[in-house]
Chains A and B, each alone.
Chain A
Amino acid sequence: MLPVVLVVAFSAVIPLMTVVNYSLQDIFDPETPLFVGFEWYRETLRDPRFMAALVRQLGFSAAVLAIEVPLGILIARSLPREGRLAPVFLVVIAVPLLIPWNVVGTIWQIFARPDIGLLGASIAKLGLEFNYTSSVVDAWITLLLMDVWHWTSLVALLVYAGLASIQAPYYQAAELDGASRWQVFRYVELPRLRSVLVIAVLLRLMDSFMIYTEPFVLTGGGPGNATTFLSQHLTIMAVGQFDLGPAAAFSVLYFLLIVLMCWLFYSSVMREDEQ
């Protein structure tokens, strides 16, 4: 046990304590910290840029979940369970998950450009205006396309594994009952998928809330700050300016927000189970 605790303490607790420490102090220069209590927290919550980033983040995460979860389920249901093609499909689907995130950003950065990208050029050929660097709508569309491309496979693979645990007689019984395709999904598959879906939704919720690299590479947060989400906002604060106090307060709030969301989601699902 000891090694684990040490490593994790080293990786997590000490830095975390440092962060909390900073968040409660005002540091004009490295030599003279001044204790200011929750001042930074209050300031952060009143900061309009923080609020804006938060709203954008919530919108992004909601859109991402709304697309990726149903799509992932549909893909998982159409994946063959056996046969020679099954492993091939699995590999193809798994590939986007193993690409460095900046490469993902780069791929889409190229792909969606009207001058050198297949997608961008095709859209231009159709006569439509498409430029993700200047148009907010286009930027969001490209971002969503990219994230769906990147992460839907995770949902699909998890659901696929969940479906694989359903034994044949359940399907046979439904067939003999005369159940329709939709009824089979609703009464045979969905109940088994609950725990898998909870994990999938939690993971996507957390990760989309923490997203940094891909939008950074694709749009740099622009146009303007139309695609600046929470992580990027924090990075700008922490690295660009040397205001450690507010940055630290923001970090703590960010972390707590994620833990809160996860806990809310998790316990609401658990409460349903108990009924």
Chain B
Amino acid sequence: MTRIVLENVSHRYAQAQADTLTGVNMEVPAGQAHALLGSSGSGKTTLLNVLSGLEAPSGGRVLFDGRDVSRIPPRSRNVSQVFQFPVLYESLTVVENLEFPLKVRRVPGPERRRRAVAIAERLSVADLLGAKPAALSLFEKQLVAIGRALVRPEISVVLLDEPLTAVEPATKWQLRRVLKSVQAELGATMIYVTHDQTEALTFAESISVLHEGGILQTGSAETLFNRPSHEHVAHFIGSPGMNLLRGEITDGAYRIAGQAVAPASGLAAGPCTVGFRPEWAVAVRRAGNPQAHGLPARVTALRLLGTRHGQPVGVVTAQLGGAQISLRQVLDVEPGEEVLVQIQGERVIGFRDGWRLSTGAGPSGRGASYPSA
């Protein structure tokens, strides 16, 4: 398995008006389960094609274990890919499908058979070896496709393009588990592209968030959740995502509508975006609570998610000033009530021009997309 590095990769399709990828820097250590998270149109497919070699980047380099492979064709890169729907050779049996990549490289018969059977057993499809794809369910077919991607020993990286899309909904979680366990066991470098954050957050050790052709942040699920470096990451991750309100930094504090909510020492004064996750704030009813402090708001809706210690918990949607916010808490307020929103000040994150504000000398602007804490 290989260490993959993308160095300042950009790409523009012929006849296109603008770059599809701009200055992408990405590093995936060998054997890592890495996810590429982005909505449609963010450039995910192009990035995959650059990694597999189906497209040669217009700028920058692609390095496999330090070797520049930017111009090397796909067949010589030892890359394999699992697609959105199971892509199998319809006229060959399952075992012939599995052996195909080896047969092409002239691996002798007995060795081919051994590897094919081994991977089939690992993926629990060994009893389907003699069947044709038409007889298999979508889930089974995708398992075979994964097997075909892993069958060659010299594979550098396995690319996965939203592999759960076409399988039956009831089997999606099963497929996810199989992928994760196979990846861990074989130590395969896997790059998993998706628009679904649950898939990304549960599969990967490290996630790169792709937006409009550039990588905003790369980090673990915990990092992306607690310390997002860009508004888009903050809002995209989490269900619901981070609340982002217009505010300002004045006199060393973050302020929303003039009221201080968090300390902001060492940061330049001026307008900014104040962000806090629904999990980091709570709304308390105003009536009958004269000592309470917080930002005034009005509850607009409740959504029940379950109970904790016998109490209903869920998402409270409220109108604060001109913005709508979400809060995850015990549902002890009613729609229409006036409430006060209390935010955990030490967790608040400020953004300016989209990027996170941080104290210290390090740059926190564009282009710093190497894995950051």
**Interface residue stretch chosen among A57-65, A96-104, A165-173, A216-224:** A165-173
A183 CB-CB contact with B under 8 Å: yes
Q: How far is the CA of A46 from the CA of B185 in the complex (A)?
A: 77
Chain B nearest CB, measured from A167 CB (Å) = 8
Q: Is there contact, CB below 8 Å, between B101 and A178?
A: yes
Chain B nearest CB, measured from A272 CB (Å) = 11
Chain A nearest CB, measured from B50 CB (Å) = 13
Q: How far is the CA of A80 from the CA of B54 in the complex (A)?
A: 19
Residues from chain B with Cβ under 8 Å of A177 in the complex: 75, 80, 100-101, 104, 148
A-B residue pairs in contact (CB < 8 Å), sample of 9: A169-B87, A170-B87, A176-B52, A176-B74, A178-B104, A179-B100, A179-B104, A187-B89, A190-B91
Q: Is there contact, CB below 8 Å, between B105 and A178?
A: yes
Q: How far is the CA of A178 from the CA of B104 in the complex (A)?
A: 7
Contact of B83 among A169, A175, A191 (CB under 8 A): A169
Q: Is there contact, CB below 8 Å, between B85 and A175?
A: no
Q: Is there contact, CB below 8 Å, between A173 and B87?
A: yes
Chain A nearest CB, measured from B9 CB (Å) = 19
Q: Is there contact, CB below 8 Å, between A175 and B74?
A: yes
Residue of A nearest to B54 (CB): A172
**How many residues on chain A are close to B (CB under 8 Å)?**
16
Residues from chain A with Cβ under 8 Å of B83 in the complex: 169, 172-173
Q: How far is the CA of A175 from the CA of B89 in the complex (A)?
A: 13
Q: Is there contact, CB below 8 Å, between A191 and B85?
A: no
Chain A nearest CB, measured from B153 CB (Å) = 14
Chain A nearest CB, measured from B299 CB (Å) = 48
A52 CB-CB contact with B under 8 Å: no
Q: Is there contact, CB below 8 Å, between B75 and A176?
A: yes
Q: Is there contact, CB below 8 Å, between B89 and A178?
A: no
Output the residue of A169, A176, A187 with the most chain B CB within 10 A. Answer: A176
Q: How far is the CA of A187 from the CA of B87 in the complex (A)?
A: 12
Q: How far is the CA of A187 from the CA of B104 in the complex (A)?
A: 12
Please give me the 9 A-B residue pairs with the lowest Cβ-Cβ distance, nearest first. A178-B75, A191-B91, A169-B83, A173-B87, A187-B89, A177-B101, A178-B104, A191-B90, A169-B87
A136 CB-CB contact with B under 8 Å: no
